[in-house]
A and B are shown apart, each in its own frame.
Chain A
């Protein structure tokens, strides 16, 4: 697979403080890559360096084949960015904002109009196109921001906390748009989030970042396997539980101890879905019948705990961040 983004020892220091610390990763064309980490982890700083807004203190990154330090203009032409904050000009209408951004990319007027109409339709904002952005709701503004990020048909789209401060329903809707857009335009998407469940559900690969360092990279499945895989609980009926236990201990992929509790056997296995049939067959040969079996994947929460040594609570993180966001908005409006 070809590499869309390659970060090489990417580092940003603010004075003595290292916000992003020698980060290395690759993002492939066509995938949705997620940066997962708590507030202050360095997600936004990484995006700012990848999108040429901030210059790396050390290291560099190749985006769509161009070096962010040496060829920033080329990078900017290749990417679309939906920053963490709202960036539309509140005094202009949604339509005017799109046309402005289109002009900055050098898109001819006629084509810009076609694209703007198409994008507004896609994010279901056509009805509000001629309204000033200051009258938009939070969800509408996010959708407009996404449309603005797509006006230049970017090869790579950067989304910095695209669902921040939105209610659950709107969040789901935003992801729906993102998936539709990717299907329509075949983009690579680099997104950040501090919502565990969003990273798990929507990103194809995840990098866990904390204190400016990447602690793990992989598909959600791989990360869960690294934690020790799935937990399988089997209840057996008839036959010897202890023989069953011996059989299970001998199966490839089973790790850690196997616990027996009455008729119930509990153990960890790297991949529960493939291990389960093998185990059942082995037990069957010895005439041990299983009456029930459950396979439980570890949650992203457990994955995060494993790699960072602390929990990332969705609720606390989001409400705190949202209040900060609200305060900024309020300050700006004053």
Chain B
């Protein structure tokens, strides 16, 4: 009677269900955009390193020509951030921040489905492959992340972010790919962690606990080399660091910390490992329940 069902069947329907909850309630979208935009508009605009060095820097007794100070300032900034334009540097960091923030939330949605034993227990009686229930949440998180990153990017440009003048469409595609890979890895990780949890309060707590440290222990705000020795290893394994490295190279055209190839390899490994773990564990858990 039934037509043969392909292995990915139901994936889009389930993803769409999650997306519908999001685009139907624009308030949630707007609220989640507030944080990165506040960082950009308040912090990014005020933390103007270039102006700090050049505006009225006058050391008594020394008569340094303004041109020299400017030169030094620009070299110092370049040596640290790879550019004299800190605002653009930060804006790239905010793209990965909004992606991180969105991906961490995916743990909440599985907790939500488990409440009352309801939605999830119904899904389990249908012929949808178990792994697709999890992958739908990951896919949803990736799509949301990219849409929200786009909005943050546009706002950053309006606020004065300067993209690489020789930017081509492939660079943009590459940046999106990096964000998508990171989202895939984090969303899989957090859905897996949430599998057994029934309390969204604890899920929320984990989210808030990890959010800021993950952002600050990366090159989102400052380069890794300016970190204390104990923080560096965290930043070096933090996927945000790799996403930012890629996006600064592609979008801003500045020299990165390492090669793009290495960056992508790391992100692909991160995404694949955690999504495979997520699918395997959820499959097992959902079939044993």
Q: A101 to B123: give the CA distance in the assembly, Å.
A: 8
Task: Tell me if B's interface is mostly helix, strand, loop or mixed.
Answer: helix
* Minimum C-beta distance from A29 to chain B (A): 15
From A89-97, A235-243, A251-259, A276-284, give the one contacting chain B.
Answer: A89-97
Q: Does B17 contact A (CB under 8 A)?
A: yes
Identify which of B84-92, B125-133, B137-145 touches chain A.
Answer: B125-133
A83 on interface, CB distance cutoff 8 Å = yes
**Which residue of chain B has the shortest Cβ distance to A47 in the bound complex?**
B125
Per the CB 8 Å criterion, the residue count for chain B at the interface is 29
**Which one of B14, B17, B116, B126 contacts A76 once the chains associate, using CB atoms below 8 Å?**
B126
Most interface-central of A76, A87, A104 (chain B CB within 10 A): A104
Cβ–Cβ < 8 Å partners of B128 in chain A: 104
In the bound complex, do residue A101 and residue B116 qualify as a contact, i.e. CB atoms below 8 Å apart?
Answer: no
Cα–Cα distance between A23 and B13 once the two chains are bound (Å): 37
Q: Is there an interface contact between A328 and B116, defined as CB atoms closer than 8 Å?
A: yes
Q: Are A104 and B13 in contact (CB under 8 A)?
A: yes
Please tell me if B164 contacts chain A, counting CB pairs below 8 Å: no
A52 and B125 CA atoms in complex are apart in Å by 7
Is B288 in contact with A55, judged by CB distance below 8 angstroms? yes
Binary interface profile of A, 170-200, with partner B (CB < 8 Å = 1, else 0)? Answer: 0000000000000000000000000000000
How close is A71's CB to chain B, nearest CB, in angstroms?
A: 11
Q: Which of B182-227 contact A (CB under 8 A)?
A: none
Q: How far is the CA of A201 from the CA of B237 in the complex (A)?
A: 66
Option from B17, B20, B119, B124 in Cβ contact (under 8 Å) with A53: B124
User: Does A206 sit within 8 A of B, measured CB to CB?
Assistant: no
Closest chain-B Cβ to A26's Cβ sits at a distance in Å of: 22
In the complex, how many angstroms separate the beta carbon of B228 from the nearest chain A beta carbon? 42
Q: How far is the CA of A109 from the CA of B124 in the complex (A)?
A: 21
Q: A55-B288, A89-B119, A103-B13 are in contact. Are A96 and B127 (CB under 8 A)?
A: no
B118 at the interface (CB under 8 A from A): yes
Binds A, one of B3-11, B35-43, B57-65: B3-11
B123 touches A104 (CB 8 A): yes
* B116: chain A residues within 8 A (beta carbon): 85-87, 328-329, 332
Is B289 at the interface (CB under 8 A from chain A)? Answer: yes
Task: Check: B259 CB closer than 8 A to any chain A CB.
Answer: no
Chain B residues at the A interface, C-beta cutoff of 8 Å: 1-3, 5, 9-10, 12-14, 17, 20-21, 24, 115-119, 121-128, 287-289
Q: List 7 A-B contacts (CB under 8 A).
A: A53-B121, A53-B125, A85-B116, A91-B24, A96-B17, A104-B123, A332-B116
A interface vs B, CB < 8 Å? 51-55, 73, 76-77, 79, 81, 83, 85-89, 91-92, 96, 99-101, 103-106, 148, 328-329, 331-332
